[in-house]
């Protein structure tokens, strides 16, 4: 998304305004390029082993996420994501979590990408929004349902204490587990299975993120939330617009539901949907 493109639709009577907006855009681009150059110089000064691949692309992706958060802020109530969320997005090498054919700049588009078996790695903006909505920190223990590529788990693992994540499709779960291990995420545990029942052995959780959409919220997940904990979940029918919701469990055990944004996620599956 390039906000500067908006200027092309202005009529000629607005030329001065157009000029001003274009100038602002140019200045932003110039400053952004300067930041790129500064970052590149800083990078060049690092020893080869410490230089991160695709840092510029990742930075650009993060800028897009920040802009989109501002644009949607009135609807989501989150015009600015927490620094720890943005820092995590700037750190996790998204290209390592996508199939080999996409392991380049394409991995840093602000869009979902296929990861095989009809599943997708979520759009970075949605990953950031869900992470922000979870309101977790360094002491938090988080459950994710729908490991997929492992990217969302890695973003969380950058700053929480531990991430438990469940994937129903064995090949995806295995690959994500290998990727997470290779990338050094020792604080993520992956399990293959149906996430409907949650992971009672490690409950209760400070937050639960669900990255596939069930038609109704699975009751076991609500039960496995700590008082004050948050369940971030897309709810709605398959192949239709769903609602991203936050369910907050109060101290007395009640749940308060907030609808955040219309979204489209892959469906929440059960064991019968999965072919070996």
The residues annotated as belonging to the active site are 122
Residue nearest ligand SAH, CB atom distance: 148
Closest separation between CB of residue 255 and ligand SAH, Å? 20
Q: Which is nearer to ligand SAH, 173 or 229 (CB)?
A: 173
Closest separation between CB of residue 156 and ligand SAH, Å? 10
Q: Which is nearer to ligand SAH, 4 or 109 (CB)?
A: 109
Return all residues near 235 (Cβ < 8 A) that are at least 6 apart: 213, 214, 215, 216, 217, 242, 243, 245
CB atoms within 10 A of CB 146: 24
Closest separation between CB of residue 155 and ligand SAH, Å? 8
Kindly list the residues in this chain that would bind ligand SAH in the complex (CB under 6 A).
119-122, 145-146, 148-149, 151-152, 166-169, 172, 194-196, 211-212, 266, 268-269
Q: Which is nearer to ligand SAH, 39 or 167 (CB)?
A: 167
Quick check: 202 and 176 in contact, CB under 8 A?
no
Q: Which is nearer to ligand SAH, 7 or 197 (CB)?
A: 197
Tokens of 235: 């709810």
Closest separation between CB of residue 196 and ligand SAH, Å? 5
């Amino acid at each position: 998304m390039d906000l500067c493109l908006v200027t092309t639709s202005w009529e000629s009577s607005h030329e001065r305004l157009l000029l001003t907006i274009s100038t602002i855009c140019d200045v932003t681009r110039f400053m952004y390029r300067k930041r790129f150059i500064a970052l590149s110089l800083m990078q060049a000064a690092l020893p080869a082993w410490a230089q991160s691949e695709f840092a510029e692309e990742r930075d650009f992706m993060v800028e897009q996420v920040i802009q989109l958060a501002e644009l949607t802020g009135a609807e989501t109530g989150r015009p600015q994501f927490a620094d720890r969320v943005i820092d995590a997005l700037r750190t996790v090498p998204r290209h390592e979590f996508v199939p080999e054919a996409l392991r380049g700049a394409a991995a840093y588009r602000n869009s979902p990408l296929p990861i095989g078996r009809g599943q997708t790695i979520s759009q970075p903006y949605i990953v950031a929004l869900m992470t922000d909505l979870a309101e977790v920190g360094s002491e938090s223990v988080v459950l994710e349902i729908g490991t997929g590529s492992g990217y969302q788990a890695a973003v969380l693992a950058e700053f929480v204490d531990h991430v438990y994540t469940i994937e129903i499709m064995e090949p995806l779960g295995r690959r994500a587990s290998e990727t997470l291990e290779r990338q050094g995420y020792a604080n993520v545990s992956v399990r293959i299975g149906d996430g409907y029942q949650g992971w009672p052995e490690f409950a209760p959780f400070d937050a639960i993120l669900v990255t596939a959409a069930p038609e109704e919220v699975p009751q076991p997940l609500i039960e496995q939330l700590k008082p004050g904990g948050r369940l971030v979940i897309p709810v709605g029918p398959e192949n239709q617009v769903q609602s991203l919701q936050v369910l907050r469990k109060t101290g007395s055990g009640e749940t308060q539901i907030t609808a955040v944004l219309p979204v489209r996620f892959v469906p929440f599956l059960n064991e019968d949907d999965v072919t070996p």
